[in-house]
Every structure is written in structure tokens, then in C-alpha cells.
Structure 1
């Protein structure tokens, strides 16, 4: 929001400079985003009157004028097309300096002396449009310094207004806020409603009382032909960032900026019958003032005559009923439209209007009468015309008064952390326009109708803190004995997990907790999506039941940008439950791998990630967490995973997650290319580990023996390893496969596995006979599992 500092000071003068005013507003929650001068620097420019104009003898596009500056008549050569006798325009005298740095000197232009320069608005920095000379009104005082007369020594202040403070979107609202902040007296302009001099009225009816409790109309007739908008009005509009359109429209915009009440004017001669406020009919059409055709829906509130909608209520009027330079009879509209009736409709049609901006945030329901009186006053005084009586329509719904809020000052002091006397609190809240009654140490506070944001005691606490000043609050010195807390040796923290994943080449990702409901259903089809009541986007309408959807979307994003190798992990919360209100959060680690298994190099062929890569990463992770001995896998079926490449992850026999390759249908749903492998672990299942045990390294040699074993292809290596370890005795340290063969020489349904066995005794060197006896015992035991030594 932009506003003129000088305009504000006509309502209230807090006796502080611009910087202090901006600081106090910012500290009160009305953040000042920028302060700019109302006009760039220039001097020695006065109001002047053109007395005569004649052609330049040697230049067709120039004119030689005689210009009176209040003291002397000067000859000035001018090339503006709109220069004419009797025109009042700015004159930069000899010695003046213009915003572009030009210094005005006495000169000869094509042989004719010129004493100064007649100026356009663009040359003075008041407009970017090059429309010739700036035409001043007939009553402009000749000889008066232009900066002084137009009040150009002013600052334009831009505020960042939060959505809950619609009450300060006007000079009146800002003045009331400053009155409370500075304890200064308001001096609002006097509103003199014109006496009804004609009997003409335009009846209005309300068919949607919940959306429009009150609707006022007033007819003004015999409005003379109009020229330009009053210069001071136009200047204040310019400084507020509002363009001038037409004098009637400009005055209504001025009233909106002054009071905060949006208004509209209809051309009375273009209306068909009485006015009604109603809900639109689905498919009904209206052409807006911006010439955009709107196809309305049945949740759009409209103002209509007997034939058609004439305005999208609180947003924009219709082009056929709008005022123009030929309009002589108008119907003023001043109404209270509820935020619920306006919110979202402007965005639906791609509209952005000052009226919608204010009505969406809430407008004081007491303003319509005040605003229509002020508008009628300005129109009749500045433009002329005869006003009829104000007609008020109500839909039978009484506007409810704000509810009283009880504020216990003992409670307030505990939460503010600052002693505040009851009388002082009552005074501060009264300055805001609240009605305050005191009963001992308890206040009963009725907020003003403009403050929709005051509803509970905590709101009043915030107001007290703002008015007292946040810089008055001093944090007490806290005395404490510092203690350094370290995680227990048995804790597996997310930091530790992150470090281990990074060691394996994974990058940490942080994805949204909200996901597309359809993608969520691909991963967890058996659990209905936990939908949000008001999602921020259609593709973020459900709370995630797994971390996989966000990671898989990240993989797809990277694949589309030609990333050859993708390894991502995330620790975060997943949600389980039937609704957002009842959802339970559980911690989860998820990771995903796709693309090249290793960077390309000349020494080895490039291969892509496979199931054993991500399984190895998982095993390394669990080893780093001290849970390698507790880790096991069990074949499972998961709707999002490939049935032949998926497993349940077990820790100490308890299921803690899943691992596998994505199902082809899952790849298609996420628009993924190639094979993608995923895993997930419940953080609760891996948050603790056995206390690490230390032991000295053995000084005796390790002995390796390799066995080529023929096993059924259905026998998982984990089962084979368990059988070998069961028969291998206490000196068997390691069992690892290093080759697999299927083909000629091996029966169908069989496979040849090459297995490395490592033996070691911590107290002596093992003998060959001991190793041979142990291996024979292992082979004898393996025959029970249909496993033979390959011949």
C-alpha cells in the first residue's frame, strides 16, 4: 500500500520526522517497505499564465509566447502542441534546475529570445507520459511556487500490509493507528452530506443477505460536463499509485483511499429498472469495465438490474453500465460485501482490483453511510450536480456487534513478561477504538467494528505489545549451569545416518510433506490418502504416507536433466491415519538409486545400478549403525515393487522396512526411465544398537579356503551362509560368495556358487588338519540342504 505522508499528516501530526514515523509503524507490525520522494528535486518552477501565442518566424513546430509569472511577462519559445492563450502551466524560470540536471538559461531558439521553459509533467518527473505541457486548473495561483502549491515536498511511503490488517488500507485507518501509537489527536476532514435537492431514487433489493447485509444507493443528477480531475485529488491519487480515469471515478477512488470503503457509480440512464443484489445464475455473462467477458458461476455475487448483472459485487463493474464523460446522472453504490462472498472470485477471473483487495480482507460494516455521504459531498462541490436522498436496503440480517473479550491482567502480565498497569492497558486499548470496562484487574474489551482480527485474549496481548513497543521488552538474564549433552553410545542419530549415507555417495534431499494423491496411491494403494482441507496446490493435496513419492519425483526431475547417476536419501516423517486431524507421524529413512553404478572411466565398462548395489548400501549402513549381525531379509510382495526383486528388511527378526526394484507400473506412474531401486527403514527400528564391544586384533594368521558348491537355485545365500556358519565352529570368521555359474556341467535347477571361507584362532595358528576336518564337517552338514561339492 502506498500513501502520501503529507496527506496522512492532514489527519494527524505525530510530531516526529519521516524516519521515526516509518520506524514506529514497522515496529507496530505495519512494515515500511520503501520511502520515496513524491517528486524529484527541481526548483524555481512557478505557476504561470500564457498571455499570447504567435508562430515562430523560422520554425514551423515552435511558438513564441508571452508568459506572466506573477511579477513579469517573459517571452518564452515553446514547442508543445497544447500551448494556447490563457493556459496556466509550470514555468521554469531562468536559473531553475530540472530533475534531469538541466539548468535553465536565457537562450535564443532559432533567433528568438527565450526566458525560461514551459514544462510538461514528464519534464518535472510527475509522469512518464509525454503529453505536452502540464495543464494547471484555471484557479491555479499565478506566481506561486509549484512545489509549494502542489505540496510536492512530500514522501510516498509503501507499507507491506498483512492480510489480517485490512483496517489500515486507508488514510483514515492509518491515522487511527497512528493516533494509538503516538497518543495524538485525530483531525479528520468534515463530511457535510449534501441536502437532497431532488427526489430521484433508485430502489435496491437484497436477495443474498448473508453475503451483503447492507446496500446503499444515491442518485446525483444534472452533473455538468467535466474536464480534468481536480489537481490536488489527482496528485494524491498518483502518490497512492492510482491512475486518474474520469473525474467521478477518480473521486470515488479518492473516497476509498480516504475511508477504506470501496464504492462504485453506475450511469443511471443505462440501468434497466431497480437494483438487486443476488447470486449469479450459472453461465450468466457480464462484460467488465476492462472489456473482459466473464462467464459467471452460481457462487458469484452480482449486482444486477432487471435485465443483467451490472457488477461482480465488490470486484468490478460492468462496461455497459459504467460512467463516461457523457454521463449526467449517476447512481452511487456503497455496500458491505462479506469477505466470504468476494474471496477467490477475482483470482478466478484473473482480476486484481483495489475493491476486491479490500473486501477480501474485510471492510468495516459501519463505513457505507459515511463513504456515500463523503462521495456525494465531493462530487457536488467539485463537479456540480443535485443529490437525491440516500436509500438503504437491508436483507433482514442484523450486523452482529463484536463480542466482548475478557482480559485478565494477571494472566496478561505473565505472558507479556512485563508489568502493565490495568489503567494503562485500558488506555492503550481505548486508543485503538475499543470500548473498555474495568472490573478490578479484569478488562472487558469490545473491539471496534473495523478490527476483524481481534477475537481472543491473545489478540489483545499482541495489541498491548505493539503499543507499548517491542523495544521495551527486555529478556531477563537466565542463570544456568551449562551441561554438554552427548548421545548415548547406543543411539543411532539421524546425523549419524546422514553421514553414513553420504559416505556411500548419496545426496540428502528434503521434499514436501504434501504429495499428489494419485502418486501417493501408487505407493500405498491399500491406504486411503490423507487429504488436506485446503491444499496449497492440486499436486500437494495429500499428506505423504511414504517418503518414496517425493524422492521418486526428484529422480524424475534429475533424469529429465540428463543426470547419469542419481543417489538420494531423506529422513523425515510419514503420516498414517484416516484424516489429517487424526494422522500419526512416524520417522522414516528412505533412499533411492538409479543410473550408473560408478562414474564412467576408461578402465572398466559402464554398468547401471542393480538390486545388489542398493542391498549392499543398506548392509553397509546397518554395519555402520552396529546392526549388521541383526540384519536379515525376507522375500515379500509390495504393490510398488517388482515381485521378483523385493524383500522385507528385518532387524532382530522384526520388520522395519522394504527394499527392491520399482514395479514397471510404478516407473510409468512417476515417468521414470530405466531401473530404479528403493529402500525404506523405520527410524524407530534402527534407533538403538548394542553397546560396541572392543577386542584386540589377533596376531595369528587368517586362513582362506574356497569351495565350489552346487546348490538348488531356490536356496537363498543367506540360508546357505547360515548352514555353513552353523557347522563351521567358533573359528569360522567370514563367509562370502565371489562367483556364480549356471550352465553346461551344472544340472537344471542347480547353480554353482564359489564361496570364500575365512578361519582364524585368536590364540594360536590353525593347522591344515583342523581346517580340513572343519570343511568336511561343513560339507556333511550341507548335504542335508541338497548342497554338494562341485566335482
Structure 2
């Protein structure tokens, strides 16, 4: 919400400067995101009138003009195509300073003296869609400083309004909060003039969906002037609020929306066919919207329709066919209340973003339509002329539901806030906000919230109001004491923080990505249907993620596009499976690596990461968390990696991770087709683990070291290439005596001398007894048994 500070100060003028005002608003929950000047710095620019325009003798595009500021006359050489006699324009006099540091000096242009400069709005740092000179109204005061006349020393304040404070999306709403903050009365600026009803013309209308639209008012204004023009004071306020000036009637509707918070709409009456009906869209109905977008309407879309079909999408956008234009002479002004439930999500679903929808889906005062209609009609008469008919309520209207009474116990409030607020002060705060407050006892208040506060429902809501009006910075004292019990974490439990710390120690950076992803992307990573959101933020964030990989790969692409070729990221987050009614949330660790194995350096040659780099990091993490990767005589392995297939991973470079023989994660290379679709370059390797499977660990047990020597024997084995190494090691360990302490691979060879379909692996066997020295005969016997087991799987000693 952007607004002009001077506009707010017309409603309420607290005795504080801009910085203090911004601080008080922020401490009251209306966070000030920015404070900007209304215009860039310039000086020496006044209002002037063009008296004559002559062609330049030596330049076709230049003109010689004579202008006056009411006291003096100046000769100005001007290149603007729209300059003409009788127009009033900004004149930068000699010595004037314009934005960017330009100083106006006397000069000769193609031999003709020029004593200043006629300015366009953009040359004064004010955005404009009009090329050429800035044409000022004919009543602009000659000789007055442009800066003073338009109050360009004003500030523009931008607020970040939370979704529960739809009432603060207007000058009235912000002024109402300031009234409570500074204990001052409001000046009701919208009641300075009333509409003059001089016609009996009405627009027939009816409501077929009273639960979604309890209030629908119309007013006919005919005979409006086609030479109408939005006054400068209004266009400047709209500009400072970030709203484009379009056409006087549309501008007035936007102005009243900013002023009071009630969105309005105007129809060209001559383009309507019969009466208006508020109803739900019918199957197959479409509408051409004001932004020239063709909307396909669903049955849950509320529309305003005439006899020919929808002319507006209720509370969101008007139709192109009934739009007001500069030729419109008769309008139907609409002011209505639409419930937030019927508006919420519809605009985003249709790809629309409008100020009206932004307000209605947060909640607009159901008692405001009549006040806003009267204000807009009075402004239209004042600016555009015309004869207004009476305001007319549509048939089928019903009384909107009003808030229920809330009981507020101030003793209870003190216990909850840790700060005593006198009941009379609490009453003053709430009355300033528009509540009706009565004393039930000395410390108990009965509070009826105002119709514009949809967020005041229970006593805790009133507590929040009191806290924010006091200012969140007022709570400096301890908020009371409560006994704390330090929780006991079992020594066998691994924390998520331990996982994050370890990944960071291995050189990974933590990432946080959205839980909502594009349905097209979701299909790349899972064959199971994703959970579709009922009210998505956008079409690119319409389903819940089933994997953390999409977000990490988008982060990789983002980094690669910024010349970061070596990327290592991890994320601790949740994936979501099941259905919208039965969501299964799974805590996961995901990691991704791509690029060089080491940062560029002189000691190591450049090499790209591969599958085993990430597998090594995964094994190191599991060992750090107390899991066993390689089996020993004392500790059997509880982690296995086995070849598998995954829709997002490269065949042959994919492993499923099993902990205690239960599938708990995946490791592998992203499939090249998916890498291309995700816009990532190079070989990308990813890891995903179920965090709950990592939570419990086996504690290490102290065991005395054997005093007797180890014996090592190496075997060179020929095994089928299709037999996994893990299966070979398990086969050796199976039924072996406890004296075989360790088994491991230390070499692998495929090539000359090796039969096709086989590979040579070198295996180390470590033997040791704790009570005696092993004999050669015992070791030979154990190896003979191992060879016999291996022979059954076509594994032989290499000769």
C-alpha cells in the first residue's frame, strides 16, 4: 500500500515528523517498507503560459516560443512537438537546477537566443506516458513554483500490509489507526460535498447469490462531459500511490478505493443490455476482460451479467464490452460487498492481479458501499458534471453479518501481556479503532468490533490490538517467569542440526527452496501423482513437492548462470505425498554436487566430481551418525547401497540406500534429459535420505585391543562383472569365523588378460584372535572355506 503522506495528514495530522510517524506505524504492525520523495530534487521551475509559437528559421524541428510567468516574458527555443499557444507548461528559468544536476543557462540554439527551458514531466523526474511538454491545467497559477503548487516536497510511504488487515488498505484505514496511536480525532474529508440527485434514472439489478453478495448498489449518472479531465491534485495522488491515470471516471473510482478502501466499478450504460444480475457463471461462459484477456469462467466464479452475458467478474475486473471510454456520456456506478470466500484465489487462478481483488479477498467493510458510492458520485458531478439518479439497492439484497460481542477481562490481559493497561486506556484505544465498548465491571469490557475489522473475533484479537497500539517496542520488561524443564535427548538420537553441521563441514552450503513446485517439473522426478493445491500462488507453484531435488537443481542453475561452476548444496526440508485430505509429510536431507572435485589450485589437476565423490560424502555422514558401512566380526553392516532404477536418475549410476534393509534414500546422477530441462550443465549428482531413518544410532562400545598380531592375506579374484561388490563381500563374511576381522577391496582391473564378462578384484582379509596367535594352518583352512563358497558363484582365484 503506497500513499502520499500529505494526503494522510489531511485526514489526521499527528505532531510528529515523517520518520517518527513511520516508526510508530511499524511498531503498530503496519510495517513501513519504504519512504520515498514524491519527486526528484529540482528548483527554479515555475508555471508559464505560452503566448506565441513561431518556426525556427534554421531548424525544422525547433520552434521559437514566447512565454510568460505572469510578471516577465521569455523567449524559449523548444523542440517539443506538442507546444502550442495558450497551453500552460513548466518553465525552468535561468539558474534552475533539474534532476541529474543540469543547470539551465542562457544559450543560442541555431543562432536564436533561448532564456530557459520548457519541461516535460520526465525531465522533472516525474514518470509520464506523454512525450513532449507537460501540459498543466488552465487554472495552474502563473509564476508559482511547480514544486510548491504540487507539493512535491511530500513523501510517499509504502506499507507492507499483512493479509488480516484489509481495512488498512486505504487512507481512512491508516488514519483510523493513527487516531488510536496519537489519540486524535479524524477529519472526514470524504464528506465535504454531497451528490445532487437531479434525475430519477435507475439501473434495474437483482442478486441471485445473496450469500456471496449481500449488498449491491448502483447509481446512474447521465450527461457527463466528454471534455472532462482528471484534476492535477487527483492525478498526483494516484501517481504517488502507484496507480496509472487512465480516464476521469475510472480515476475517480480508483481514488475513492484508495481513500475509503471500497473498490468501485463504472459501466457505460449505453453498452449494457437490460438489467444487471449478480450470479454465478454458467457452463461455457467467457468474458473479455478490461486487460483484453479472454476469461473462461467456472461455475464458482461470481459475475455481474446483463441480458447478453457477463459484463464483469465480480470484485476482480470489469468487462471490455461495457468499459467506460472518453466518449461515454452516461454511466452506471457500482458499489458492492463481496464475501472474501467467493473472491479468494479466483484472480490468481485466472492469471489476474487487480487492486479490487486484493482488497475483497482480505475483506472490505460490508457497510461501506453506500458511503463510497455517494463519495464517487459527488466527485464525478464535481469533475465531469452530469445528472445523478438516486442510489438503488439490487433486489435480493440482505443485511450483512456483523461481528459478535467479545468480552475482554483486563486482569487476564495483564497476565497474558505481562504489562498492565488501564481499562480506560484500553477503552480509548478500541473506541478510536471504531469499536463499541461498554464496562461490564471495573476490569471487564464488552467490545463490539466494527464492521470493517474481520480479524477481531476472540479476546486474543483485542489483546493483539492493545499490544500493537502501545507499540511492540514498549514491551521491554521481562514477560513474566515460568519454570522450564530441560528436555533429555537420548545419546542414541541424532539431531537434524548434527546432520546440517556435518554437511556444512564437508563444503556444502545450505539452501532453502519452496515446497510448491511446477506440476511439469514434479512429473520429472516422480511417477506418483502430486498433491495439487486448492488455491495455488501461481501456476508454477501449483503442487506440493515429492522430492527436494527440483528446488536444489533450480538453485544450481541459478548459480551456474552467474558463473559459479562448482556448486555443492544441501537442504533439510519436507516432501509431501498422499492426497490433499491425507498428506504424508516426510523430513528429508537432499544434497547436490556439480563441477570440480577441488577448487582450482596448483597442487591438484582439475577433475570433475563423479558418483563416488557424493557416495563418499554420504558414507562419511552415515559413519558420523553412528551407522556401519563395512561389516566386521563385531559389528554387522546396517547400511547397503544397491543398484536400482529411478525416473530422475541416470541408468547405471543409480543406487538405492537401505538402512536395516529398509529403503531410505537415493543416490545417483541426474538423467541428462532432466538436466537439460532443468537448465543445469555438466554431470550433476544428487542424494536424498529420510531423516527419520537417521535418528537412532548404535552407541560405540569400548573393547580392549588384542595383544596378538594381525595376519593379512590378499586374494586376487575373478568375478562376473554383473555381481555387485557388496554381494561379493557379504559372501566372504557369511558364516566366517570371528577371527576374520575385516574384509575390503583395494584394487579392480578390467582389460587385457581378463575374460569378457569378468573383472579382477583384489580383496584384503584381516585375521586376528583376542586370546592367542593364529596359526598358518587355521588361516589356510578359513581361506579354503571362503574359496569353496566363492566357487559356487563362479568366482575363482586369478592365476
TM normalised by structure 2 equals 0.78
Distance of 1:750 and 1:82 partners within structure 2? 87
Query: 1:775: Cα distance to partner?
Result: 3.5
Q: Deviations over 1:490-519 (max 9, x none)?
A: 555556666777899998777766788999
SS in 1 for 2:370: helix
Match of 2:236 in 1: 235
Q: In the TM superposition, what are the counterparts of 1:552-591 in structure 2 within 5 Å?
A: none
Query: 1:333 and 2:334 equivalent?
Result: yes
Equivalent residues in 2 for 1:189-200, closer than 5 Å: 189=189, 190-200=191-201
Q: 1:497 to 1:779 in 2, by over 3 A?
A: farther
Q: Give the Cα–Cα distance (whole angstroms) in 1 for the partners of residues 379 and 646 of structure 2.
A: 70
Tell me whether 1:771 sits opposite 2:776 in the alignment: yes
Residue in 1 that maps onto 2:52? 53
Tell me how far apart the structure 1 counterparts of residues 705 and 89 of structure 2 sit (CA, whole Å): 100
Q: Does 1:702 align with 2:702?
A: no
* Residues 734 and 757, structure 1, Cα contact 8 Å, conserved in 2: yes
557-566 vs 307-316, which deviates more? 557-566
User: How far did 1:145 drift?
Assistant: 4.1
Shift in CA distance, 238/694, structure 1 to aligned 2, threshold 3 Å: same
Q: Structure 1 residues 681, 161: CA separation in 2 closer, same or farther (over 3 Å shift)?
A: closer
Within 5 A, what are the aligned runs for 1:239-638?
239-440=240-441, 441-476=443-478, 492-493=494-495, 618=619, 621-622=622-623, 625=626, 627=628, 629-631=635-637
Tell me, in whole angstroms, the C-alpha distance in 1 between the residues paired with 2:67 and 2:244.
Answer: 33
- Asked if the contact 1:220/1:386 (under 8 Å) is kept, the reply is yes
Deviations 1:590-627 (A, max 9, x none): 789999999999x99x9997899959975994497264
Match of 2:212 in 1: 211
Once the two structures are TM-superposed, the CA of residue 467 in structure 1 deviates from its matched residue by: 0.5
* TM-score relative to the length of structure 1: 0.78
| DSSP-derived class of the 1:205 partner | strand
CA-to-partner distance for each residue in 1:240-291, whole Å, 9 max, x for gaps?
2223222222222222222111222222222222222222223333333334
CA distance in 2, matches of 1:669, 1:76: 65
Q: Quick check: 1:725 aligned with 2:725?
A: no
d(CA) in 2 for partners of 1:132 and 1:644?
67
- TM superposition shift of 1:14: 0.6
Cα gap change, 1:586 to 1:267, in 2 (>3 Å): closer
Q: CA deviation at 1:401?
A: 0.6
Q: Retained in 2: the 8 A contact 1:631–1:650?
A: no
Contact 1:176/1:186, CA 8 A, preserved across alignment = yes
Question: Where does the alignment leave 5 or more consecutive residues of structure 2 unmatched?
Answer: none
Q: Work out whether residues 489 and 691 of structure 1, in 8 Å CA contact, stay in contact via their aligned partners in 2.
A: no
The equivalent of 1:12 in structure 2 is 12
Residues 364-410 of structure 1, C-alpha deviation per residue, up to 9 Å, x if partnerless?
A: 11111111111221222233222111111152433101122333323
Rounded Cα–Cα distance in structure 2 between residues aligned with 1:481 and 1:633: 42
CA distance in 1: counterparts of 2:553 and 2:105, whole angstroms:
72
1:255 aligns to what SS in structure 2?
A: helix
Do the aligned partners of residues 695 and 10 (structure 1) sit closer, same or farther apart at CA in structure 2, a change above 3 Å counting?
same
Q: Secondary structure at the match of 1:131?
A: coil
State the alpha-carbon separation in 1 of the partners of residues 251 and 555 from structure 2. Answer: 52
Q: Secondary structure at the match of 1:186?
A: coil
- Measured against aligned partners, the alpha-carbon deviations of 1:689-729 in whole angstroms (never above 9, x if no partner) come to 2343153574x543334578999999965665456633xx6
Structure 1, unaligned stretches of length 5 or more?
none
CA–CA separation in structure 2 for the residues paired with 1:751 and 1:89: 89
- Supply the distance in 1 between the matched residues of 2:596 and 2:246 (Cα, whole angstroms): 64
**SS at the partner of 1:36?**
strand
Who is 1:170 aligned against? 170
Structure 1 residues 136-157: Cα deviation after superposition (integer angstroms, max 9, x where no partner): 224x444444433333332222
Q: Distance in 1 between matches of 2:758 and 2:520?
A: 43
Whether the 8 Å CA contact 2:506–2:617 is kept in 1: the answer is no
What does residue range 123-162 of structure 1 map to in structure 2 within 5 Å? Answer: 123-128=123-128, 129-132=130-133, 134-138=135-139, 140-162=140-162
Q: Per-residue deviation at 1:360?
A: 2.5
**Number of the residue aligned with 2:696:** 687
| 1:559-618 C-alpha deviation (Å, 9 max, x unpaired) | 999999999877666778x666766767666789999999999x99x9997899959975
Could you tell me which residue of structure 2 aligns to residue 33 of structure 1? 33
Deviation string 1:161-197 (CA, Å, 9 cap, x unpaired) is 2222221222212211211111111011224433422
Q: What residue is the counterpart of 1:179 in the other structure?
A: 179
Give the SS at the match of 1:630. Answer: coil
1:43 to partner: Cα distance: 3.9
- SS of the counterpart of 1:725? coil
Aligned length: 776
The residue matched to 2:439 in structure 1 has which SS?
strand
Structure 1 residues 376-385 or 508-517, which shifts more?
508-517
SS in 2 for 1:377: helix
Counterpart CA distance in 2 for 1:49 and 1:697 is 106
Secondary structure (helix, strand or coil) at the match of 1:217 reads strand
Q: Does the CA contact (< 8 Å) of 2:266 and 2:332 recur in 1?
A: yes
1:668 deviates by 12
CA contact (8 A) 1:589 1:683 kept: no
Distance 1:675 1:98, change over 3 A: closer
Deviation of 1:358 (Å): 2.1
TM-aligned CA distance change 1:293 to 1:107, over 3 Å = same
CA–CA distance in structure 1, aligned partners of residues 258 and 653 of structure 2: 70
Cα distance, 1:293 vs. partner? 3.5
The 8 Å contact of residues 615 and 659 in structure 1, kept in 2 or not, is answered as: no
**CA 1:644–1:776: 2 relative to 1, 3 Å:** farther
Q: CA 1:722–1:537 in structure 2 vs 1: closer, same or farther (change >3 Å)?
A: farther
Q: CA deviation at 1:11?
A: 1.0
Aligned partner of residue 226 in structure 1, secondary structure: coil
Alignment RMSD (CA, Å): 5.5
Separation in 1 of the partners of 2:782 and 2:118?
Answer: 114
- Do the aligned partners of 1:640 and 1:663 also contact (CA within 8 Å) in 2? no
Distance 1:409 1:738, change over 3 A: same
Return the offset for 1:112: 6.9
> C-alpha distance in 1, partners of 2:760/2:482?
67
User: For residues 519 and 141 of structure 1, what CA distance do their matches in structure 2 show?
Assistant: 61
Q: Find the residue that maps to 1:309 and give its secondary structure.
A: strand
CA distance in 2, matches of 1:639, 1:149: 73
Distance 1:739 1:240, change over 3 A: closer
Matched residues in 2 for 1:93 and 1:739: separation?
88
Residue 466 of structure 1, CA deviation: 1.1
More displaced 10-residue stretch of structure 1: 490-499 or 300-309: 490-499
Whole-angstrom distance in 1 between the partners of 2:281 and 2:330:
27
Structure 1 window deviating more from structure 2 (436-445 vs 564-573): it is 564-573
Distance 1:85 1:561 in 2: 55
1:3 counterpart residue number: 3
Partner SS for 1:389? coil
Q: Find the residue that maps to 1:361 and give its secondary structure.
A: coil
For the residues of structure 1 that align with 2:593 and 2:95, how far apart are their CA atoms?
75
Tell me, yes or no, if the aligned pair for 2:418 and 2:480 is still in contact at 8 Å: no
